[in-house]
């Protein structure tokens, strides 16, 4: 294939976001001439064949939306890429301008079901305002999508939002990368290890996880929870630390990351030492139809997990025999399941092996990389 220039754009995600950098950009760098990634970063850099072009990092949401998108747009224009591939709904209108100003192909990568996500955003004050905001965005997203050359979706059911746009839709799921070289970490395993990894937020169940720890600690002390990832806000991190102090739980919990982004390969390195993972997301329309990436990452590491008993999740866990599902607010039941896994290492091993086998055979990035490359080949032919 002729050497082509590819440019990915994100104004929200870290430059080393797992889906954007490790999966999509690194995969494309193997097949195309030059791959750029415009992203929030403290420096320009070239990593694994991907040229990172920095844009300023702003913590304030309004400043970020008003400034980062402008900077990203003008830096994208200067690249003269054959394909622009953007990852954030905040960039939608700028992507339309990019399409109008160039003869290039433009791809919209849909990471989330933004309609249900916006309805759960606590920083938007008031239920009515959240509903109105979600409806307005849903309208804008669908209308904008008609002008892009392709839409990439990270979950099967996202296609429902775009099936009437007459655009090319490619399903590229967030399955984990196989055979990744992991860094050495300073970790000494002293007891039964529980993990919650990824972005830490209220709507992803951090309080259910902490109350589970509180419940377990009433019966035994030979365990530890590792929270590995960046918190959604400094305020949440402060509240979690206060909760641990007030309930004398500090000795049972270690936070790795906190207000710092933890790169994917570091999380995977910690996973190798864990005994069970938790995905205790509260009841939510936003999550009940999607399969979290965390499932597959735990499975790849051979970790059984305990997850919320959404119908889809229950079906997946039972079919793959990789863990348990439970009411996320029933801490006594979760405690019993963890006690069972502590006392039955053979069960843990069997579930872990079943999950890992499924990922190696089916739920892995190799299968999705092929879809991504096929889409690019088609658009460039």
Residues 270, 145 share a domain: no
> Hey, is 93 helix, strand or coil?
helix
Residues 306, 288 share a domain: yes
Measured between alpha carbons, how far is 261 from 197 in angstroms, rounded to an integer?
12
pLDDT category at 257 given cuts 50, 70, 90 is very high
Range list of H helices, the chain: 26-29, 61-63, 69-79, 92-101, 114-118, 127-145, 206-217, 234-246, 264-271, 293-300, 311-320, 331-343, 345-361, 365-380
Residues 254, 133 share a domain: no
Average pLDDT over every residue of 234-245: 96
Is 186 domain-assigned?
no
Q: Please say whether the beta carbons of 185 and 269 come within 8 A.
A: yes
Is 339 domain-assigned?
yes
Measured between alpha carbons, how far is 78 from 305 in angstroms, rounded to an integer?
46
3 vs 240, which has greater pLDDT? 240
The pLDDT value given to residue 124: 78
User: What is the per-residue pLDDT across 145-155, written as a single tens digit (0 to 9) for each?
Assistant: 999 999 999 99
Q: Which among 85, 299, 53 is positioned nearest to 197, based on CA atoms?
A: 299
The pLDDT value given to residue 99: 95
Residues 157, 39 share a domain: yes
Average pLDDT over every residue of 327-347: 97
pLDDT category at 349 given cuts 50, 70, 90 is very high
Is the predicted pLDDT of residue 1 greater than 60, yes or no?
no
Residues 231, 140 share a domain: no
Is 269 domain-assigned?
yes
Is 184 domain-assigned?
no
The pLDDT value given to residue 132: 86
User: What is the per-residue pLDDT across 2-49, written as a single tens digit (0 to 9) for each?
Assistant: 578 999 999 999 999 999 999 999 999 999 889 999 999 999 999 999
User: What is the per-residue pLDDT across 366-379, written as a single tens digit (0 to 9) for each?
Assistant: 999 999 999 999 99
Residues 235, 311 share a domain: yes
pLDDT category at 127 given cuts 50, 70, 90 is confident
Angstrom distances, CA of residue 297 to CA of 255, 327, 328, 358: 19, 22, 20, 12
Measured between alpha carbons, how far is 304 from 301 in angstroms, rounded to an integer?
9
Per cent of the chain over pLDDT 70 is 99
The pLDDT value given to residue 52: 97
DSSP tally for the chain: helices H, then strands E:
14, 14
Measured between alpha carbons, how far is 31 from 4 in angstroms, rounded to an integer?
9
Backbone angles phi, psi at 304, to 5 degrees: -70, 155
**Among 180-194, 199-213, 274-288, the least confident range:** 180-194
pLDDT category at 62 given cuts 50, 70, 90 is confident
Residues 149, 52 share a domain: yes
The pLDDT value given to residue 2: 59
Residues 319, 257 share a domain: yes
Residues 289, 159 share a domain: no
Is the predicted pLDDT of residue 61 greater than 80, yes or no?
no
The pLDDT value given to residue 128: 82
The pLDDT value given to residue 376: 96
For the chain, the domain total comes to 2
Q: Which residues pair with 224 in a beta bridge?
A: 193
Q: Please say whether the beta carbons of 58 and 68 come within 8 A.
A: yes
Strands 192-197 and 223-230: parallel
CATH number at residue 169: 3.40.50.2000
Is 181 domain-assigned?
no
Is 48 domain-assigned?
yes
Average pLDDT, the chain: 93
The pLDDT value given to residue 122: 74
Q: Please say whether the beta carbons of 15 and 40 come within 8 A.
A: yes
Residues 110, 259 share a domain: no
User: What is the per-residue pLDDT across 265-313, written as a single tens digit (0 to 9) for each?
Assistant: 999 999 999 999 999 999 888 899 899 999 999 999 999 999 999 999 9
User: What is the per-residue pLDDT across 354-365, written as a single tens digit (0 to 9) for each?
Assistant: 999 999 999 999
Angstrom distances, CA of residue 29 to CA of 33, 48, 147, 173: 7, 8, 26, 19
Q: How far is C-alpha 15 from the geometric centre of its chain's CA atoms?
A: 13
Measured between alpha carbons, how far is 377 from 2 in angstroms, rounded to an integer?
10
Is 101 domain-assigned?
yes
Residues 376, 277 share a domain: no
Average pLDDT over every residue of 225-235: 95
Average pLDDT over every residue of 121-127: 78
Q: Please say whether the beta carbons of 61 and 12 come within 8 A.
A: no
Strands 45-47 and 50-55: antiparallel
Is 180 domain-assigned?
no
Per cent of the chain over pLDDT 90 is 77
User: Which residues are CB-neighbours of 100 under 8 A, at least 6 positions away?
Assistant: none
Domain that holds residue 239: 192-361
Residues 170, 282 share a domain: no
DSSP string computed for 138-186: HHHHHHHHTTSSEEEESSGGGGGGTTTS-SEEEE---PPPSSPPPPP--
């Amino acid at each position: 294939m002729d050497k082509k220039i590819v440019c990915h754009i994100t104004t929200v995600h870290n430059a080393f976001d797992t889906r954007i950098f490790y999966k999509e950009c690194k995969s494309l760098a193997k097949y195309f001439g030059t791959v750029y990634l415009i992203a929030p970063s403290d420096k320009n850099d070239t990593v694994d064949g991907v040229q990172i072009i920095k844009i300023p990092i702003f913590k304030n949401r309004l400043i970020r939306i008003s400034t980062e998108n402008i900077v990203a747009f003008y830096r994208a224009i200067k690249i003269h890429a054959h394909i622009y591939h953007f990852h954030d709904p905040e960039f939608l209108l700028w992507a339309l301008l990019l399409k109008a100003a160039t003869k290039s192909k433009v791809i919209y990568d849909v990471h989330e079901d933004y309609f249900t996500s916006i309805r759960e955003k606590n920083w938007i004050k008031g239920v009515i305002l959240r509903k109105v905001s979600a409806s307005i965005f849903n309208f804008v997203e669908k209308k904008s999508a008609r002008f892009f050359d392709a839409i990439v979706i990270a979950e099967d059911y996202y296609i429902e939002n775009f099936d009437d746009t007459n655009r090319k839709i490619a399903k590229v799921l967030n399955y984990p990368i196989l055979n990744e070289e992991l860094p050495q970490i300073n970790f000494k395993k002293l007891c039964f290890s529980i993990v919650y990894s990824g972005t830490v937020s209220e709507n992803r169940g951090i309080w259910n996880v902490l109350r589970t720890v509180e419940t377990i600690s009433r019966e035994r002390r030979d365990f530890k929870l590792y929270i590995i990832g960046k918190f959604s806000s400094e305020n949440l991190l402060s509240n979690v630390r206060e909760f641990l102090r007030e309930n004398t739980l500090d000795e049972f919990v270690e936070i790795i990351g906190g207000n710092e982004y933890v790169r994917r390969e570091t999380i995977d390195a910690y996973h190798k030492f864990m005994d069970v993972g938790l995905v205790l997301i509260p009841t939510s329309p936003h999550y009940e139809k999607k399969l979290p990436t965390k499932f597959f990452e735990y499975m790849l590491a051979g970790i059984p997990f305990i997850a919320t008993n959404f119908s889809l999740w229950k079906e997946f866990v039972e079919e793959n025999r990789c863990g348990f599902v439970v009411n996320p607010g029933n801490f006594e039941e979760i405690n019993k399941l963890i006690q069972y896994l502590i006392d039955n290492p053979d069960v843990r091993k069997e579930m872990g092996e079943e999950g890992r086998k499924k990922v190696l055979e089916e739920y892995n990035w190799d299968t999705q990389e092929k879809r991504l490359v096929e889409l690019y080949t088609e658009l460039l032919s």
